[in-house]
Chains A and B, each alone.
Chain A
Amino acid sequence: MIGMDEKLSFFKDGLRLDGRLPDELRPIKVEVGVLARADGSCYMEMGDNKVIAAVYGPREVHPRHLQEVTRAIVRYRYNMASFSVEERKRPGPDRRSYEVSKVSREALEPVILTSYFPRSVVDIFVEVLQADAGTRTAGINAASVALADAGIPMKSLISSCAAGKVGGEIVLDPMKLEDNFGEADVPIAMTPAGEITLLQMDGRLSKEELKRALELAKAGCQQIYEIQRKVLVDRYSHMNEMESCDEAVAEEEI
């Protein structure tokens, strides 16, 4: 990492170091159903972040004592590959990944209808293949699409992105340089209706700045939602009509 010169600016002619406008997301690429063995899966790129999400379940809970009699439990494991960052990341869970797993689970759990599947578990695994600031938001976005792909009943999808403050200005979706040398980072997750399920803040912001950051992040989430929705719909776009097989019952003799 090259040391940041004090005089070096985050902006040049009103554009950011990677050529984006302050309220512009990084390019997003999504693919659904990439893993054959998972019940639902999604690969997502948000700028230079590359994550893959796999959903299993509802399935039997192991170990048994974790099971809840009236509802399904949700488990979320966020893991960074050792090659995902510049310096090799020591493999295995650490304080940071425990935290990210917990907040991500709590970002998704409110929309999952856990009461439909008592005594079962929905397992979500998110693997970060390449990190460039904003992996938790990318993970939540991918996990949300993978949950839909697995056929899990949900009230809505969840979209997530961050806003930050760099060089005194509020920007959407900070990339690594901006995150490392910026003043604040505010990741959020929300439903398309605007209900926030994740809100974190790292750094210092004034009340007005936080308001502006939320505004930006919410607008970013709406854009991401449209992408998530489109990728799911397009997967079956060649279908216009499924012949209705209502009330088909198996009636056979042996």
Chain B
Amino acid sequence: MDRMDRNVVVPGDLLSDDPKRAGEGTYVKDGSVRSLLYGMASSYKDKVRVIPLAGKYVPTPGDTVIGTVQDIVFSNWIININSPYEGLLHISELPRKIEMNEMSKYLRIGGSVMIRVKDVDSTMKVELTMNDRRLGTLTRGRVAEINPTRVPRLIGKGGSMINMLKKELNCNIFVGQNGRIWVDGNDDDMDLALKTVLIIEKEAHTTGLTDRILEFLRVEKEARS
């Protein structure tokens, strides 16, 4: 009963009899590799792993995410990062020096930020940083939310999907690892961009999606002109 390779698996399904092949989303029991998740099994290098079809975003150091400010406490912003765990942004992690009484001037409650996960400890305390040229507050554009498990599909192999979208839509698009997407462009382009993103989310598991999306965009744009 080998339910392997690009198949939908449920928790407990047998993936391999070789414990050395245990990859992400699997566990070993009595010498056999089994799935931990409801998802797609696939071979990756010499491992088997399961890519989840659902689930929450769990912050990992190095991830770039989009957050919203929830609260301001003593020298920290508390940031919602679309995860079971909230993030902490300390004032020292800003690119320039800011006084404590000026915190809300720079970043208000409700404001959106593009931010990087700096560190996560074992109790899931999440430290964030904004100390990078590419990070900062979002003052223009719109933010949409998709399921974080669909993020790799939206980016595509080597960025194929996202680069196609940016080119076809004339928009600046940023995909946060936490499933929040920022788009910036003119209003019509942004409308279409968000519509397309939601289609990709819904059909993330189907084949030939990039081509179908390209076709969809052509039709939509023709209808507009």
Chain A residues in the interface with B (C-beta under 8 A):
39-40, 57-60, 69-70, 111, 113, 116-120, 148-157, 191-193, 228-229, 232-233, 235-246, 248-254
Please state if A120 and B157 are interface contacts (CB–CB under 8 Å). Answer: no
Q: Tell me the minimal C-beta distance from B38 to chain A in angstroms.
A: 4
23 contacts between A and B (CB under 8 A): A113-B36, A117-B124, A118-B123, A120-B85, A120-B124, A149-B38, A151-B54, A153-B37, A155-B27, A157-B10, A191-B12, A242-B153, A243-B153, A243-B156, A246-B44, A248-B151, A248-B155, A248-B156, A249-B155, A250-B64, A250-B151, A252-B174, A252-B175
Residues of chain A contacted by B118 (CB below 8 angstroms): none
The chain A residue sitting closest to B135, CB to CB, is: A254
Could you tell me which B residues sit within 8 Å of A by CB distance?
6, 8-13, 25, 27, 29, 34, 36-40, 42, 44, 51-56, 58, 64, 84-86, 114, 122-124, 134-136, 149, 151-153, 155-159, 162, 172-177, 204-207, 209-210
| Alpha-carbon distance A228/B38, docked complex (angstroms) | 12
Q: In the assembled complex, which residues on chain B have CB atoms less than 8 Å from the CB atom of A119?
A: 85, 123-124
The complex places the Cα of A184 from the Cα of B148 at a distance, in Å, of 48
Q: Shortest CB–CB separation between residue A35 and chain B, in angstroms?
A: 13
Can you name 19 extra interface pairs (CB under 8 A) apart from A155-B36, A242-B207, A243-B153?
Answer: A57-B56, A58-B56, A111-B12, A120-B84, A148-B11, A151-B54, A155-B27, A236-B8, A236-B205, A241-B207, A242-B6, A243-B207, A243-B209, A245-B153, A250-B176, A252-B134, A252-B174, A254-B136, A254-B174
Interfacial chain A residues near B206, Cβ < 8 Å: 238-239
CA distance A228 to B12 in the complex (A): 12
Which residue on chain B has the smallest CB distance to residue A151?
B55
Which residue of B12, B85, B136, B152 contacts A245 across the interface (Cβ within 8 Å)?
A: B152
Distance in angstroms from B55 CB to nearest chain A CB is: 3
Do A241 and B155 touch across chains, with their CB atoms under 8 A apart? no
Contact: B84 with A58, CB < 8 Å? yes
- CB neighbours (8 Å) of B8 from chain A are 232-233, 235-237, 239
CA distance A157 to B36 in the complex (A): 10
- Considering the chains assembled together, what is the distance between the CA atoms of A37 and B108 in angstroms? 28
Minimal Cβ-Cβ distance residue in A for B54: A151
Which B residues lie within 8 Å of A229 (CB)?
A: 10, 13
Given contacts A58-B84, A151-B52, A155-B29, contact A253 B134 (CB under 8 A): yes
- Among B44, B152, B157, max chain A CB count under 10 A is at B152
Kindly count the residue-residue contacts between A and B in the assembled complex, taking CB atoms under 8 Å apart.
148
Residues of B within 8 A of A117 (CB): 58, 84, 124
The answer to whether B205 touches A242, judged by C-beta atoms less than 8 angstroms apart, is yes
Chain B residues, Cβ within 8 Å of A235 = 8
Query: In the complex, which of the residues B44, B53, B173, B209 has the most CB atoms of chain A within 10 Å of its own CB atom?
Result: B53
B122 in complex: contacting residue of A111, A118, A248, A251, CB < 8 Å: A118
Q: Which of B55, B123, B152 contacts A150 (CB 8 A)?
A: B55
A225 to chain B, nearest CB (A): 9
**A residues within 8 A CB of B11?**
111, 148, 153-157
Considering the chains assembled together, what is the distance between the CA atoms of A146 and B173 in angstroms? 33
Interchain CB contact (< 8 A) of B123 among A69, A156, A237: A69
- Pairwise interchain contact A39-B56, C-beta atoms closer than 8 A: yes
In the bound complex, residues from chain B placing their C-beta under 8 Å from that of A239 are 8, 40, 205-207
Whether B123 lies near A250 (C-beta < 8 A) is no
Closest chain-A Cβ to B72's Cβ sits at a distance in Å of 18
Instruction: Point out the residues of chain A lying under 8 angstroms from B42, CB to CB.
Output: 242, 244
Residues of B near A70 (CB, < 8 A) are: 123
A58, A111, A238 pick with most chain B CB within 10 angstroms: A58
Chain A: CB-nearest residue to B176: A250
How far does the alpha carbon of A113 sit from the alpha carbon of B135 in the complex, in Å? 34
In the complex, the chain A residue whose C-beta lies closest to that of B42 is: A244
Residues of B within 8 A of A252 (CB): 134, 172-175
